Structure 1
Amino acid sequence: MTATTFAEAQAWIVSVGRWLDGKGWAPATSGNYSARLDDGSFAVTVSGRHKGRLTPDDVMRVDAAGASLDGKKPSAETALHLALYTLFPECGAVLHSHSAANVGLSRAAYAGSYSFAGHEMLKALPGNPTHDASVAIPIVDNSQDMAVIEAAIAPRLLAPGAAPAYLIRGHGLYGWGKDMAEAERVIEAVEWMIAAELAERSFRG
């Protein structure tokens, strides 16, 4: 886990917002990003801000209970970020993307997870040294109540060998890592594998 100063987190979050928006993974004002700070608080995106046009003023601080420390309104999904920091003390950053591909996959007729097997990109996931593996990404039903999502997904994320990522059905992808660079790598790897699976299905007909 890498904790950081608020100024460093602001710069990282502004940068990652532009990157995700450039990929088409943050349409409208969707998505939210966070980082663990070295004083025990958390930097999170302010609610309702376009992620491709973030400035440092669009990043705020909350305490471990999700209460604003600077009078700004945090993203509605801040509770899901904080749940991950609680579950994984080594976690230093959390990202949430909304690509059409990940939403489409989560809405398709799959049960509680989708498995990726044989992809070279599996090696981008922490703790997975080979393509010769199968990794299941959990899919949890959406809810306007963050506590419902948290209760449904937490036991599955703690299972042995679980990947640092999950999908909310019809909503988007969460990925995290020890720092922002690792969280970016997780999100990009899972998004790439989803796109590759769709391409394979298209070629197979």
Structure 2
Amino acid sequence: MNAPKNHLTVIHEQVIAAGRFGASRGWVPATSGNFSARLDERHIVVTRSGRDKGALTPADLATISLDEPLPPGLSAEAPLHVARYRADPAIGAIYHVHSTTAALASRLHAASATLLLQGWELQKAFAGVTSHTVALTVPVFANSQDTVALADDVEARLGELPAQSLAPGYLLAGHGLYAWGRDGNEALRHLEAFDVLLQLQLDWERSQR
């Protein structure tokens, strides 16, 4: 009889599977993107910098504290993950991808700083959304190499928006998408739904011109 897996192993497998799924969809070209999951109340597991997300191993993941300075070797975008986990204890996983759809949608909506989703049945793939009539806000932020300051800006704006109208993700202009969920499965479902919804929104907007 096989011994039960410890919790760290389960979390490692979850992040590795998410990376492989993202790679299979072409969402993390080269070594782009980063993936994380909550280990416990004060610790997360996050991908290290410059790793192929389609070929992750446990050695490509780091366990870090939400209360201590970040160690070297992490993605420069790790502060964005840490800030989200600190702000919302219900978040269990955060996945960041550089899909072409997200990058394009983010640039086209950078000036308004908002992309609005409404009228799409697939919106109900997002936790808590029960109708296609709900208007969901996807915030769009200017990209920045100062990710500590960017994380502060992101959390300040997310905190100002009504929770019931906020989609479980945001866009960085010309960059990509951050999506989260209460666990890895939910985060991955949200990520996949975003990919389709953003493409639908782009196609619909193009048809209205």
State if a TM-score over 0.5 links the two structures: yes
**Is there any run of 5+ residues in structure 1 with no aligned partner, and where?**
none
Match for residue 178 of structure 1? Answer: 182
Find the partner of 1:5 among 4, 7, 25: 7
Query: How far apart in 2 are the matches of 1:154 and 1:60?
Result: 23
In the TM superposition, what is the alpha-carbon distance from 1:142 to its structure 2 partner?
Answer: 0.7
Structure 1 residue 165 and structure 2 residue 169: aligned? yes
The separation in 2 between residues aligned to 1:170 and 1:202, in whole angstroms, is 18
Counterpart selection for 1:26 from 25, 28, 31: 28
Is 1:41–1:63's contact at 8 Å kept on the other side of the alignment? yes
Q: 1:39 to 1:204 in 2, by over 3 A?
A: closer
- The CA RMSD over aligned residues, in Å, is 1.8
Following the alignment from structure 2 to structure 1, what is the Cα–Cα distance between the partners of residues 195 and 123? Answer: 11
Going from structure 1 to structure 2, the CA distance change for 1:39 and 1:90 (only over 3 Å counts) comes to closer
Partner residue, 1:114: 115
Q: Structure 2 matches for 1:45-194, cutoff 5 A?
A: 45-64=47-66, 65-68=68-71, 73-109=73-109, 110-158=111-159, 159-160=161-162, 161=164, 162-194=166-198
* 4+ residue segments displaced more than 6 Å: none
| C-alpha contact (below 8 Å) 1:34/1:43 kept by paired residues | yes
Q: TM-score, length-normalised on structure 1?
A: 0.90
CA distance in 1, matches of 2:42, 2:205: 45
- Amino-acid identity (%): 37
Partner of 2:3 in structure 1?
none
One-letter identity of the residue aligned with 2:52: H
TM-score by length of 2: 0.88
Query: What SS does structure 1 have at the residue aligned with 2:29?
Result: coil
The DSSP-based 3-state class of the residue aligned with 1:133 is coil
Q: How many residues are aligned here?
A: 199
> Does 192-201 or 18-27 show the bigger shift?
192-201
Maintained 8 Å contact 2:41/2:89: no
